[in-house]
Amino acid sequence: MASRLVNWFKFSSPATFYPLARKIAVVSTIIAVVLIAIGLYMSFFVAPTDYKQGEGYRIIFVHVPASWMSMFIYVVMAGWAALGLIFNTRLSAMMAQSLAPTGAMFAFLSLWTGSFWGKPMWGTWWVWDARITSELILLFLYLGYMALRSAIDDPRRGDRASAILLLVGVVNIPIIYYSVQWWNTLHQGSTIKFNEESSMDDTMLITMLIMTFGFWAYSIAVSMVRVRAVILERERSSSWVREQLGAET
Amino acid sequence: MFEPLLWIIRRDLTIAMRRRSDIFTTLIFFVIVVSLFPLGIGPELETLRLIAPGIVWVGALLASMLALEQIFSADHRDGTLEQMLLTPQPVSILVIGKVLAHWLVTGLPLVVMAPLLGLQYDLSAAGLGALMVSLLLGTPALSLIGAIGAALTLGLRSGGVLLALLVLPLYIPVLIFGAGAVEATVSGLGGASHLSMLAAILVASLVLAPLATSAALRVAED
């Protein structure tokens, strides 16, 4: 148990994590490229045409994984924020910081693909549906976090202030989600129903899962590359960064 | 425990009374914003009656958000806040006191003014009552939640705009239930359930928001 604890905290130091992040980034880049390539091939050529929605439904293979990732990444960021506040580790805040742009990108991607799907299916780019509205609010939360993070020059204060914001956000997300849902059901009884249980073809489900894991690997790869940049920027005055850069150039 | 609370409220109210123009700025902003909508939409009372709850609520929300910056900024600038954090009393008490004083100065006038604006939109008497009650429950919650944002952005360069970006998404539940209560009352459904939800949000934010605010204040004054 004790040795495991030591191992955990070994990589909480930026200096030891920096080379590890490179390895993780390389491995997960390869996984991401392979999985997304297979997933895209399957979603375009293997998955059967939907009997009701035709070919246009194929955008859900990007849309659904992107929405999942956008929600999941926010929770992960809040987890890192909590760790950072509890254990006072610098790396946790850096991880949260480097995940944020990816999460915001996925939230935007989910809205974008959703409206591309909505135009042929519902005949409109935008519907004030509960899910779409909450996804939009999630995007706002990401943007707020990134804005606060970049507005504070002092890195220590920035880390802790944005960690508090993330925790406040994660407490509020369920409240926002349920209030939006209630608001929606009160206003427009039954225009579009998402909740209908549709019997999804197995190939479709597998394709969607492959895409999801591909997006996972992509998020890990991108955040690792970004965290390396953040580490270098923050630790630029320390001796190990000088050695590292001296050795690399 | 309540002595420091009362002390802070009394102190903040005294300061606010010496600078009365701040109170009126928020109130006048509220009146102007709400009066702009008929000019943009058109004077048909049918339409206006329909959108009145939302517009008055959004106006109140924006007005109380604009006033947020003043909660801590003056005390932060002259160092009083730092001294307050050093006192043995819990910081949450300090936060609740300051927020309550701030609400009395900026939120309560909005509640009192709202029925008058509702009349301009031809709201029914029941609607006006629901508007007042919903604002009475909702604006303190707005102040409490907003205080978190005010503490996080304390002393930052682009504080005002940033504060809006942080706080507005968190205001959404209050807006939904506040405007919903008025709308449900006007349409005859009864706004009791909405008002209960608003009260629940108020109680929850009264418990949780001061904790987050005091953590943020400690970070800002570090």
pLDDT of residue A246: 73
Provide DSSP, B31-88. HHHHHHHHHHH-S-HHHHHHHHHHHHHHHHHHHHHHHGGGTTHHHHHTTHHHHHHHSS
Kindly state whether B197 is in contact with chain A, defined as any CB-CB distance less than 8 angstroms: yes
pLDDT of residue A61: 87
> B170: nearest CA in chain A?
A172
> The tokens 């590292």 sit on which residue?
A244
Contacts of B170 in chain A (CB under 8 A): 168-169, 172, 176
**Predicted confidence band of residue A189 (pLDDT cuts 50, 70, 90):** very low
Provide DSSP, A17-84. HHHHHHHHHHHHHHHHHHHHHHHHHIIIIISPPBTTTBGGGGGHHHHHHHHHHHHHHHHHHHHHHHHH
| Domain assignment of residue B165, given as a range | 2-221
Q: How far apart are CA B63 and CA B171, in angstroms?
A: 13
Q: Looking at the predicted structure, is the pLDDT value of residue A176 above 80? A: yes
Percent of chain A with pLDDT over 90: 37
| Contact between B165 and A143 using a beta-carbon 8 Å cutoff | yes
pLDDT of residue A248: 59
ipTM of the complex: 0.86
pLDDT of residue A7: 64
**Predicted confidence band of residue A222 (pLDDT cuts 50, 70, 90):** very high
Interface test with A, best of B57, B72, B165 (most A CBs within 10 A): B165
Q: How far apart are CA B166 and CA A166, in angstroms?
A: 10
* Single-letter amino acid code for the residue at A140: F
Mean pLDDT of the region A183-212:
68
**Predicted confidence band of residue A192 (pLDDT cuts 50, 70, 90):** very low
Residue A147 is nearest to which of B148, B165, B170, comparing CB atoms?
B165
Mean pLDDT of the region B164-171:
91
Q: How far apart are CA A239 and CA A244, in angstroms?
A: 9
| Contact between A151 and B162 using a beta-carbon 8 Å cutoff | yes
Q: How far apart are CA A248 and CA A51, in angstroms?
A: 56
Dihedral in degrees, nearest 10, Cα atoms A8, A13, A14, A15: -110
Kindly state whether B90 is in contact with chain A, defined as any CB-CB distance less than 8 angstroms: no
Pick the closest to residue B127 from B56, B37, B38 (CA basis). B56
Q: Does residue B5 or residue A9 have the better pLDDT?
A: B5
pTM exceeds cut of 0.90: no
Across-strand partners of A50?
A54
A106 to each of A97, A189, B115, B178, how far by Cα in Å? 15, 29, 43, 31
Q: How far apart are CA B124 and CA B126, in angstroms?
A: 5
Q: How far apart are CA A171 and CA A168, in angstroms?
A: 5
**Predicted confidence band of residue A103 (pLDDT cuts 50, 70, 90):** very high
Q: How far apart are CA B107 and CA B61, in angstroms?
A: 10
Q: Looking at the predicted structure, is the pLDDT value of residue A230 above 80? A: yes
DSSP state of B103: I
pLDDT of residue A191: 46
Opening angle at CA A118, ends A114 and A120, nearest 5: 135
> The tokens 């999630």 sit on which residue?
A138
Provide the domain count of chain B: 1
Residue B162 is nearest to which of A148, A167, A182, comparing CB atoms?
A148
Opening angle at CA B87, ends B82 and B89, nearest 5: 125
Q: Looking at the predicted structure, is the pLDDT value of residue A154 above 60? A: yes
Q: Does residue A191 or residue B116 have the better pLDDT?
A: B116
pLDDT of residue A163: 93
DSSP state of A242: H
pLDDT in tens, A116-130: 888 887 778 887 877
